[in-house]
Copies of this chain bind each other. A is one copy, B any other.
Amino acid sequence: MKDITEMTIPTYADVEAAHARIAPHIHRTPVLTSSYFNALTGAELFFKCENFQKAGAFKVRGASNAVFGLSDEMAAKGVATHSSGNHALSLSYAAGRRGIPCHVVMPRTAPQAKKDAVRGYGGIITECEPSTTSREAVFAEVEAATGAEFVHPYNDPRVIAGQATCSKELMEQVDGLDAVIAPIGGGGMVSGTCLTLSNIAPHVEIYAAEPEQADDAYRSFKAGHIIADDAPNTIADGLKVPLKELTWHFVSNHVTDILTASEEEIVEAMKLTWKRMKIVIEPSCAVPLATILKNRDIFAGKRVGVIITGGNVDLDALPWVKN
């Protein structure tokens, strides 16, 4: 059996293997349409609803692929990551399904709700100070003490192959797509989309959507090399992280273009989606719709897959509600 922990570029065979491996642990999420948004954009939009996914986001695909791809011997020591977002939830969920420990290093300053959510899925939290130095030191301690397998949130071939199953399903569910658009942060979902489409539907355009206030992927794409920002600030909190070498490989080779949206446009698109489609989506996954709404010339007349990446929102702190 191939050792999928090597930092190699995943292939479409890895995606097919991933899909078979994770199928018992994930939802095949539905694709929704909206005559309202079709009329508004002039495009035919197909929303792949990963907000209905296990643990509330697509991240469970990559996390499950990593967890269930481990040998029994490696699995026994558990998995570990540093994240305070959906990857931590997803890895905890997947580890729980396999019955192995999941260690999560989180800043002690992270919101209590996020800590509770990780613990709710069985994750074991070790707190660090809110600095990169502390996080790396604490993570190294956890790794040394447990021997747990590190699963990076996106710069990991197992994770990218797992995320790639999302657009594999989308292509099985919808015929004749002209384009697919997904939000971009670290680039895990976009890389997975590139991996799938470049293999099974290379004529389909791939767009990435990014907040203006965290547009490092956009600037990287235009510059031709990775640009990483220090501490971007955006409501789309899943999209603050920079590209890394593996995701840059896919983005630089296969993405058609990267489009950006302002904070106001993101919140407007998010609220409009809740209002008209009656689904709860995160700010991060409102970014693609926001960019479609402002780039009618690109998308009108096309059949466009829109990846709704997740639905984990703090209902007590909605961006359009003044506190």
A275 CB contacts on chain B under 8 angstroms: 280, 315
Decide if A172 is an interface residue (CB 8 Å cutoff): no
Q: List 25 A-B contacts (CB under 8 A).
A: A30-B30, A32-B52, A51-B278, A52-B277, A52-B278, A56-B278, A271-B315, A274-B280, A274-B315, A275-B280, A275-B315, A278-B279, A278-B280, A278-B281, A278-B311, A279-B279, A279-B280, A280-B280, A315-B318, A315-B320, A316-B320, A316-B321, A318-B318, A318-B321, A321-B321
Interface residue total, chain A, C-beta cutoff 8 A: 19
Say how far A185's CB is from chain B's closest CB, in angstroms. Answer: 20
Tell me which residues from 1 to 59 in chain A have a Cβ below 8 Å from any Cβ of chain B.
30, 32, 51-52, 56
Nearest residue, chain B, Cβ from A54: B35
A280 CB contacts on chain B under 8 angstroms: 274-275, 278-280
Alpha-carbon gap, A79 to B158, bound state (A): 59
Nearest residue, chain B, Cβ from A281: B278
A320 CB contacts on chain B under 8 angstroms: 315-316
A318 CB contacts on chain B under 8 angstroms: 315, 318, 321
Alpha-carbon gap, A318 to B318, bound state (A): 10
Among A30, A56, A275, which residue has the most Cβ atoms of chain B within 10 A?
A275
Alpha-carbon gap, A316 to B271, bound state (A): 10
A281 CB contacts on chain B under 8 angstroms: 278
Alpha-carbon gap, A279 to B313, bound state (A): 12
Alpha-carbon gap, A126 to B321, bound state (A): 32
Alpha-carbon gap, A321 to B323, bound state (A): 9
Per-residue 0/1 for A279-323: is the Cβ within 8 Å of any B Cβ (1 yes, 0 no)?
111000000000000000000000000000001000110101100
Alpha-carbon gap, A279 to B56, bound state (A): 12
Say how far A29's CB is from chain B's closest CB, in angstroms. Answer: 10
Alpha-carbon gap, A316 to B311, bound state (A): 19
Say how far A48's CB is from chain B's closest CB, in angstroms. Answer: 14
Say how far A97's CB is from chain B's closest CB, in angstroms. Answer: 12
Alpha-carbon gap, A56 to B35, bound state (A): 12
Say how far A273's CB is from chain B's closest CB, in angstroms. Answer: 9
Known: A56-B278, A275-B280. 20 other contacts (CB 8 A): A30-B30, A32-B52, A51-B278, A52-B277, A52-B278, A271-B315, A274-B315, A275-B315, A278-B279, A278-B280, A278-B281, A278-B311, A279-B279, A279-B280, A280-B280, A315-B320, A316-B320, A316-B321, A318-B321, A321-B321
Closest 4 CB pairs of A and B: A278-B311, A278-B280, A51-B278, A274-B280
A52 CB contacts on chain B under 8 angstroms: 32, 277-278
Nearest residue, chain B, Cβ from A53: B278
Alpha-carbon gap, A32 to B49, bound state (A): 13
Nearest residue, chain B, Cβ from A311: B278
A32 CB contacts on chain B under 8 angstroms: 52
A321 CB contacts on chain B under 8 angstroms: 316, 318, 321
